[in-house]
Amino acid sequence: MRRRDIIFILMLLFVALPAAAGRETYNLNSGWRFFDGRQTSSDGARTVMLPHTWNPDATAGNAHYYRGTGNYLKEFDAPSAWSGKRVFLKGYGGNSVTTVFVNSRLAGEHRGGHTAFCFEITDLLRHGAQNFLRVVVNNSPSLDVLPTAGDMSVYGGLFRDMEIIVTGRNAIALTDHASDGVYIRQRNVSRQRVEADAVVKLSGSGNVQVRVAVTSARGDTVAVGSGRTTLTRGAMATVTVPFVVDNPRLWHGVKDPHLYSVHVALMSGGVIEDAVEVTTGFRHVEADAARGFFLNGESYPLRGVVVHQDRPLVGNAITARQAAEDVALIKEMGANAVRVFGVAHHPEFYRICDREGIVVWSDFPLVGPAYLADVAFVDTEAFRANGLSQATDIVRQQFNHPSVAIWGIFSNVRMRDRALLPFVLALNDFAKSEDAMRLTAASSNDNGEINFVTDLICWDHHFGWREGHPSDINIWKRDFRAQWSNLRSAVSYGAGASIDHQGPLGLRPDDDGVWHPEQWQTYLHETYYESLRDDAWLWGIFAGNMFDYGAAGLEQGGLRGINNTGLVTFDRVHRKDAFYFYKANWNTHDPFVHIADRRWNIRHEAVQNIKVFTNIDEAELFVNGISQGRLVPHHGTAAWEDVELRNGVNLIEVRGGEHSDTVRLEIRSDERRTLY
């Protein structure tokens, strides 16, 4: 039997092994005691479960929410069976600085609030005995931990899972920025052939072998390979295993988000000492200044949303289930792309985007100012080092996700400090050198050479919200195309809306004021979309934001502590009208009818316009059971004008095939009106 055949059979045997072979993982989410830095003794510590934040005061809109230290205490047993093995402590998020002690000895410190951290604790344990774990988290303001600006609430806490991982004496590197330790580098991707490397980082000592098997979603083994090296204690080694997949099924966004599994085993003396399985997809992305975004060589315009992850009461301490709810809402609306704003999100968010085919633009934490006192960039070595460290965390932890196609280098920073440009160049160079198969991008609302650093640029506009009129986007577009058509550009935009603020469309509301009518938000999104929808030169349009989010320093739109520019409310309960406008244009799979302005259910004029968002070919309006005619929607919108209603309650129904929507609209023509 040929050596190649022997290896192939061995790999098939390896694939059949349980996923846990060579590695044990223990969840640590329960049984923590917590007290914050304002308490003088741990005697008053309360029992909490991860994910956890101590800042419900921020989600309640307290601008002076507690920013300081929180202490998490836990006892756990280290079985005698762990003796002779290696033990690691991994946490998936603690904001902003996390310091870990095991049995009162320092295990390590992580400076960055939204990426994972991992420390080896092998030599700190007492085997066959109880061990004491203390984690100190600090969300105090700091000028050397990014982001240092922005209106997002800075929640403190261990707001993601924590676990203990046990391996053999040799391990696939868990401490390489808390990544998988396995990086699937795609060198050439086509529908005929994928050429890639499994780059595996290792630690330990002695001679070891790395075995790799690639399987399809059906479980077919499509590629195998192996490599050897000699490990030296205290140093990290790398083994690169090349492989080829013929006639691959490419990851092609929402059309076909096909995934492959890559099984990696680390063996020594014929024994599996560690094993990892990573999920990935093969795809190629590019963008053109004249033709937009391409996926696997095909035009693939990105129709996306900007996403924040926090929620009422829990802040960023969301669960995997809640991350899945967010993606389900994004998918329902029909978006095929998301921009993960400012900080890394829950790991499950990226896994679901992989499965659902949603293209991800993943930001680094260099965020521009939102308040007068904000300092977005600090010209110190500590600031630059932290920015690069967090960028490394993000790239390596998200490396194998096929959904992640774009690294966001900065968000709306301003060229007030000349030292900022070299820092942005360094971040961009790092992203390109670390990962040549992805594009870099930036969000900008300023002029200057900083806009020419990244592969892509997204212009963040506020026409019709902070200034001017929504239709000013047409003037900008004309001037931009005349002067800067060589740039690969996208556009993002948005406006605030309170579902409690309803009334006729009037003058532009004050973005910093009390009155944020839902009708204006809808109008702004309709205007921008109508202007941009057919522009093939844009690689993407991004509606901001998908969800309202916590901004404890804000008091606007009748709300305290919430930025209400979302298409869905902070609690994910209410979809605003603009959500249904996009659903009508982007979601062609789920037929629906939605009567707009439904929350404006008490009016004073008997003659009204009735507007509907729908993706159905034809809709018919009924008022109090009487047909008002049929309309063919234009860009997802059908509007009946000058509809006569009676004084009192009217039943409004719109039908489209088997689908319908009904609201009750009350006319009070004799009642005193309110002026805003």
pLDDT in tens, 524-583: 999 999 999 999 999 999 999 999 999 999 999 999 999 999 999 999 999 999 999 999
Q: What is the mean pLDDT of the chain?
A: 95
Question: What gap in Å lies between CA 87 and CA 235, rounded to an integer?
Answer: 17
How far is CA 243 from each of CA 1, 169, 434, 625, 640, rounded to the nearest angstrom? Answer: 22, 27, 20, 66, 60
CA pair distance 80, 372, nearest whole angstrom? 57
Distance CA 57, CA 561 (A): 10
Q: What is the pTM of this model?
A: 0.95
CB atoms within 10 A of CB 346: 25
Measured CA to CA, the distance from residue 320 to residue 318 in angstroms comes to 7
* Cβ atoms < 10 Å from Cβ of 324: 16
Question: At residue 229, does pLDDT exceed 60?
Answer: yes
Q: Are strands 359-363 and 251-252 parallel, antiparallel or unpaired?
A: unpaired
Torsion over CA: 143, 148, 149, 151 (sign): negative
- d(CA 671, CA 676) in angstroms, rounded, equals 16
pLDDT tens for residues 303-328? 999 999 999 999 999 999 999 999 99
Confidence (pLDDT) at 4: 43
* pLDDT tier for residue 674 given thresholds of 50, 70 and 90: low
Question: Per 3-state DSSP, what percentage of the chain is helix, strand, and coil (rounded to 5)?
Answer: 20, 40, 40
User: Is pLDDT at 21 greater than 60 in this prediction?
Assistant: no
pLDDT band at 19 (very low <50, low <70, confident <90, very high): very low
- For residue 90, pLDDT beyond 60: yes
DSSP state of 467: B
**What is the per-residue pLDDT for 40?**
78
305-390-493 Cα angle (round to 5): 20
pLDDT at residue 670 in the model: 75
672 band by pLDDT with thresholds 50, 70 and 90: low
Chain-centre distance of CA 225, in angstroms? 33
